A and B are shown apart, each in its own frame.
Chain A
Amino acid sequence: MQHHQGAHADAAIRIDEDSGRFGVARSSYTDPHLHAAEMEAIFARCWLFVGHDSELPKPNDFVARSVAGRPVIFLRDRDGTVRCLLNICPHRGAQVCRQKKGSAKLFSCIYHGWAFENTGRVISIAEAETYHPSFNDRSCNVGANDLVAVPRFESYRGLWFLNFDRQAGSLHDYLGGAREYIDIVMDQADEGMRVVGEVQEYSARANWKLLAENSTDILHVVTLHPTYLDLVKTNSAGTMVRGKVLGKSIDLGNGHAVVEREASYGRPIAKWMPMWGEEARVEIDAIFARLVARYGEERAMRMATCARNLLIFPNLVINDIMSVTLRTFQPAAVDYMEVSVWAIAPGEEFGKPALARRLTNFLEFLGPGGFATPDDIEALESCQRAFAASREAPWNDLSKGLGRAPDPTDELPQRTFWLQWRDRLMQREL
């Protein structure tokens, strides 16, 4: 089965350098067997984003969520250690945590009452005296009655990832070239980045890979999002009008890619626009001066005036655009994904007008009620519906910019994604 799907994945990508063509078989978005193979070869092997450090500000805080379909509890235990436990009772399998978030020193199962510390350690088993003596003896059972932690759980700059493959290499090595771009986002904060409010949860009736492609796709902005560009034009009193996009697309290795280019909109760090008023201009000038003092003119300019769309393979997007968002998407079926979105902001903005500007900028574009994201969802769902014609019209085209120094609107990030997808499914040495 694995071998067969690997062969299918190999055939799913057609590259013809001579005619400058890069094609992806549309069946790759619709084949349920490939979906099952992806869940093994990609979602059970890659580092997957779980949550941000700041979602768990205090000991005993927890958030229950789903990662690659598995229910997990992302928590800070009584000693302050961040953990990720599978949300399944070792006894008969009920979810031991049934609230989305909160604070708990203990989790006790509603079914038969087994109870656990938030370290995962079992502290109570119903009618324990009726079991064989060694059943309850920790020296014999090596934690067999404890909650099961995810096999690997590591963090980088406040971002926590799990890996269901115990043999996987480190998160640090996995992120590789993407670390530089995570750094340039996180370095914008003096007091660390913090999640603002709660996660937005929405969905799309489309294959998850369509959103992976879309999140680093700059080509579509002019055609899919003219109503957003109109809004920016109005808000900037006509001073921000989209012209040629200057910047670059980069293959960061391991399937990760970034597009970094000059922003065509106001940025909370740190590009002023007229609607924000003169008072904000003073604040933004001060933020910029701080960046220059800390990182030098060149890096400060890059941080302040460039936008970046970063995809961490397979399903984490960090978009540092008109606002900063973290986005994951879980494939729930071959043609349906669940999307979760966080807004993050520098700790020092909390309680200040800067945070309001950042949130307004966020909602103008992003999220299910924004002026742009609903149109992205429409486009993705439109692709998925049209893929019903794949037998007669079998290929998607991702050739733009093939064989030249990539421009920000080229399809290099999408090709990077698909080559990693193919290699993972073929289980090549990586």
Chain B
Amino acid sequence: MAVLETLTRPEVEDFLILEASLLNEWRLEEWRALFTQDCSYLVPNMNGDPYAPPDASLYLIADDGHHLTERVKRLGKKTAHAEFPRSRTRRLISNVRFLARSPAQVKVESSFITYRAAQGVTDTFYGRHEYCIVEQAGGLRIHEKRTILDMEALRPQGRLSIIV
């Protein structure tokens, strides 16, 4: 667990910048590989408790590892109509800080703004990402990513067809 113990904020920022760039560039399989196999990717409903258990509360997205793999497969297809032709996206991340550290995992938060442009409309998504990061094969892997949106509703964005 050497990597985690000595992990600095600039190092974890580099990792999160890499993650954002893979999404910006639609390199989604490489993005999926930043996660553990048994990961979760969660986007809670902005009307509720962002930490409510996803098996007893209605989330917007509550993917386990299987569903995240399938989501990436879907977004790679031309029949994912909401994202084909692919939207143009730009993710800005900032305010990175450690929330908690232990020998087995670190919890990290970033603030984000994501722009999505498609079909003549630009939408903005904003909020914070909370990561649980673990070490695997000498590198960092995301075990959980929880995206907590600050908007009051998905209005007028209407959808979460991208990974914000």
Residue numbers of A with Cβ under 8 A of B are 100, 196-205, 224, 226-227, 230-231, 234, 336, 338, 342-343, 350-351, 353, 355-356, 359-360, 362-364, 367-369, 371, 373-375, 377-379, 381-382, 385
How many Å lie between the Cα of A318 and that of B112 in the bound state?
A: 36
Instruction: Let me know if B82 and A359 touch, CB within 8 A.
Output: no
Taking a contact as CB atoms closer than 8 A, the residue among A227, A231, A377 that contacts B158 in the complex is A377
Asked whether, in the complex, the Cβ of B159 is within 8 Å of the Cβ of A100, the reply is no
Q: Can you show 18 pairs from A to B with CB atoms below 8 A apart? A: A197-B58, A197-B59, A199-B45, A199-B47, A201-B154, A201-B155, A202-B153, A202-B157, A205-B156, A338-B155, A355-B56, A356-B56, A359-B55, A363-B59, A364-B67, A377-B158, A378-B81, A381-B158
A215 to B56, CA, bound (A): 26
A322 to B107, CA, bound (A): 35
* Residues of B with C-beta under 8 A to A231: 70, 74
Q: Which residue of A lies closest to B83 (CB)?
A: A374
Q: A234-B70, A355-B56, A377-B82 are in contact. Are A204 and B61 (CB under 8 A)?
A: no
Query: In whole Å, how far is A174's beta carbon from the nearest beta carbon of chain B?
Result: 28
Q: How far is the CB of A326 from the nearest CB of chain B, in Å?
A: 12
Does A196 lie within 8 Å of B43, measured CB to CB?
Answer: no
Answer whether residue B94 sits at the interface, using C-beta atoms and an 8 A cutoff: no
Residues on A with beta carbons closer than 8 Å to the beta carbon of B54: 359
* B160 contacts partner chain A, Cβ-Cβ < 8 Å: yes
- Residues 144-160 of chain B, each 1 if its beta carbon lies under 8 Å from chain A, else 0: 00000000111111111
List chain B positions with a Cβ less than 8 A from chain A: 43, 45-48, 52, 54-62, 67, 70-71, 73-74, 77, 79-83, 119-121, 152-161
A368 with B74: CB separation less than 8 A? no
Given the complex of chains A and B, what is the CA–CA distance between A367 and B43 in angstroms?
A: 12
- Measured in the bound complex, the distance between the Cα atoms of B46 and A185 in whole Å is 28
CA distance A382 to B119 in the complex (A): 9
Contact B70 A196 (CB under 8 A): no
Instruction: Collect the chain A residues with CB atoms within 8 Å of residue B43's CB.
Output: 369
Top 6 A-B residue pairs of the complex, sorted by shortest distance between their CB atoms: A197-B58, A197-B57, A356-B55, A201-B153, A198-B47, A374-B82
Q: Complex Cα distance A353/B57, Å?
A: 13
Separation of A100 and B155 alpha carbons in the complex (Å): 16
Asked if A226 and B79 make an inter-chain contact with CB atoms under 8 angstroms apart, the answer reads yes
In the assembled complex, the Cα of A77 lies from the Cα of B36 at a distance in Å of: 49
Bound complex: CA A203 to CA B119 (Å): 16
Residues of B within 8 A of A350 (CB): 56
A382–B81 Cα gap in the complex (Å)? 11
Give, as a whole number of angstroms, the nearest-CB distance from A297 to chain B: 32
CB-based contact B159/A373 at 8 Å:
yes
Given known A-B contacts A374-B160, A377-B82, A201 and B47 have beta carbons under 8 A apart:
yes
A336 adjacent to B156 (CB under 8 Å): yes
Shortest CB–CB separation between residue A232 and chain B, in angstroms?
Answer: 10
Enumerate chain B residues within 8 angstroms of A227, measured Cβ to Cβ.
74, 77, 79-80
Residue contact B74 to A203, C-beta cutoff 8 Å: no
Given A231-B74, A374-B82, also A381-B60 (CB < 8 A):
no
Q: Is the CB of B71 within 8 A of A371?
A: yes
Q: Are B47 and A368 in contact, CB atoms less than 8 angstroms apart?
A: no
CA distance A338 to B45 in the complex (A): 16
Question: By the criterion CB–CB under 8 Å, are B81 and A202 in contact?
Answer: no
Given A197-B52, A369-B160, residue A362 in contact with residue B58 (CB < 8 A) = yes
Which residues of chain A come closer than 8 Å to B161, judged between CB atoms? 369, 374, 378
Q: With a CB–CB cut-off of 8 A, which chain B residues contact A203?
A: 153-158
Q: How far is the CB of A57 from chain B (nearest CB, A)?
A: 15
A232 to B82, CA, bound (A): 19
Q: A196, A199, A202, A374: which contacts B155 (Cβ < 8 A)? A: A202
Q: In the bound complex, how far is the Cα of B56 from the Cα of A360, in angstroms? A: 10
When distances are taken between beta carbons in the complex, the residues of chain B under 8 Å from A100 are 47
In whole angstroms, how far apart are the Cα atoms of A201 and B158 in the complex? 8
Residues on A with C-beta less than 8 A from B158 are 202-205, 368, 377, 381
Residues A371 and B154 in contact, CB atoms below 8 Å apart: no
Q: How far is the CA of A262 from the CA of B103 in the complex (A)?
A: 52
Once bound together, how far apart are the Cα atoms of A351 and B80, in whole Å?
34
Q: Is the beta-carbon distance between A224 and B81 smaller than 8 angstroms?
A: yes
Query: Given the complex of chains A and B, what is the CA–CA distance between A371 and B73 in angstroms?
Result: 11
Contact A375 B58 (CB under 8 A): no
In the assembled complex, the CB of B29 is this many whole angstroms from the nearest CB of chain A, namely 16
CB distance from A259 to the nearest CB of B (A): 22
Whether B159 pairs with A377 at a CB distance below 8 angstroms is yes
B80 CB to nearest chain A CB (Å): 5
